[in-house]
Amino acid sequence: MSRPMLEIVALEKSFGDLKVLRDINLRVATGEMVFVIGPSGSGKSTMLRCCNRLEEPTSGAILIDGKDIVGCSSSALNRMRLEVGMVFQGFHLYPHMNVVANVMLAQIKALKRPKDEARERALAMLDRVGLRHRAETMPTQLSGGQQQRVAIARALALDPKVMLFDEPTSALDPELVGSVLAVMKDLKDSGMTMLVVSHEMGFAREAADRVVFMDGGLVVEEGPPEQIFANPKAERTQAFLSRVRA
Amino acid sequence: MQDFIRLFFNLEVMAQTLPLLMQGLWMTAKLCAAVIGLGLVGGLFLALGALSHRRWLRWPAFALIDFLRALPPLVLLIFIYSGLPFAGLAISPFAAVAVAFFLNNSAYYAEIYRAGIQSVPTGQTEAARACGLTTGQTLAHVVLPQAVRNVLPDLLSNTVEVVKLTSLASVVSLAELLYSANMARSLTYNASPLVLAALVYLVLLWPLVRLVSRYQRRLAA
B118 touches chain A (CB under 8 A): no
Sign for the pseudo-dihedral over CA of B151, B59, B66, B107: negative
- Distance to chain B for A228, nearest Cα, Å: 31
- Distance to chain B for A231, nearest Cα, Å: 37
Bridge partners, residue A26, by sequence: A8
CB contact under 8 A, A105 and B123: no
Q: What are the residue ranges spanned by the domains of chain B?
A: 2-220
Average pLDDT estimate for A153-168: 97
Q: What are the residue ranges spanned by the domains of chain A?
A: 2-243
H or E element, residue A245? helix A235-245
Chain A residues touching B138 at Cβ < 8 A: none
Bridge partners, residue A90, by sequence: none
Domain at A2-243: CATH code: 3.40.50.300
Model pLDDT, residue B2: 87
CB contact under 8 A, A93 and B127: yes
Average pLDDT estimate for A108-116: 97
Bridge partners, residue A210, by sequence: A34
H or E element, residue A189? helix A174-189
d(CA B45, CA B99): 16
d(CA A17, CA A154): 36
Average pLDDT estimate for A52-80: 95
Query: Do residues A237 and A222 touch, judged by C-beta distance below 8 A?
Result: no
Model pLDDT, residue B221: 67
Pairing of strands A67-68, A218-223: unpaired
Fold adopted by B2-220: MetI-like fold (1.10.3720)
Q: Reply yes or no on whether the pLDDT at A1 is more than 80.
A: no
Q: CA nearest A78 in B: which residue?
A: B132
CB contact under 8 A, A155 and B126: no
Confidence of residue A59 (pLDDT cuts 50, 70, 90): very high
Model pLDDT, residue B218: 81
What percent of chain B stands above pLDDT 70?
100
Average pLDDT estimate for B46-75: 96
Query: According to DSSP H, which parts of chain B are helical?
Result: 2-8, 11-50, 55-70, 73-78, 93-118, 122-130, 135-138, 144-150, 152-165, 177-188, 192-220
Confidence of residue B220 (pLDDT cuts 50, 70, 90): confident
d(CA A80, CA A45): 20
Sign for the pseudo-dihedral over CA of A220, A224, A225, A227: negative
CA atoms within 13 A on the CB side of B24: 28
CB contact under 8 A, A105 and B141: yes
* CA A1 to each of CA A8, A24, A207, A213, A221: distance values in angstroms, whole numbers, following the listed order: 15, 19, 21, 21, 19
| Residues making up chain B, counted from first to last | 221
Q: Reply yes or no on whether the pLDDT at A73 is more than 80.
A: yes
Model pLDDT, residue B206: 95
Bridge partners, residue A165, by sequence: A87, A196
**Nearest by CB to A106, which of B123, B126, B131?**
B131
Q: How many CB atoms lie within 10 A of CB B58?
A: 15
- Distance to chain A for B176, nearest Cα, Å: 40
Query: Do residues A196 and A33 touch, judged by C-beta distance below 8 A?
Result: yes
Average pLDDT estimate for A156-175: 96
- Describe the crossing of helices B55-70 and B11-50 by its angle, rounded to 10 degrees: 150
d(CA A224, CA A229): 9
| Residues making up chain A, counted from first to last | 246
Pairing of strands A162-166, A218-223: unpaired
Model pLDDT, residue B81: 96
- Describe the crossing of helices A144-156 and A115-128 by its angle, rounded to 10 degrees: 130
Q: Reply yes or no on whether the pLDDT at A246 is more than 80.
A: no
pLDDT in tens, B140-150: 999 999 999 99
Mean confidence (pLDDT) of chain A? 95
Q: How many CB atoms lie within 10 A of CB B88?
A: 6
Contacts of B52 (CB under 8 A, 6+ apart): B58, B61
- Distance to chain A for B127, nearest Cα, Å: 6
Its ipTM equals: 0.93
**Nearest by CB to A81, which of B131, B141, B142?**
B131
The pTM for the full model equals 0.90
Confidence of residue A230 (pLDDT cuts 50, 70, 90): very high
Q: Which of residues 16-35 of B touch A (CB under 8 A)?
A: none
d(CA B93, CA B34): 13
Pairing of strands A33-37, A193-197: parallel
pLDDT in tens, B78-126: 999 999 999 999 999 999 999 999 999 999 999 999 999 999 999 999 9
Pairing of strands A193-197, A162-166: parallel
Query: Do residues A35 and A211 touch, judged by C-beta distance below 8 A?
Result: yes
CB contact under 8 A, B146 and A95: yes
**Nearest by Cα to A105 from A96, A165, B150:** A96
CB contact under 8 A, B127 and A88: yes
Model pLDDT, residue B124: 98
Looking at residue A116, what DSSP letter applies? H
Q: CA nearest A75 in B: which residue?
A: B134
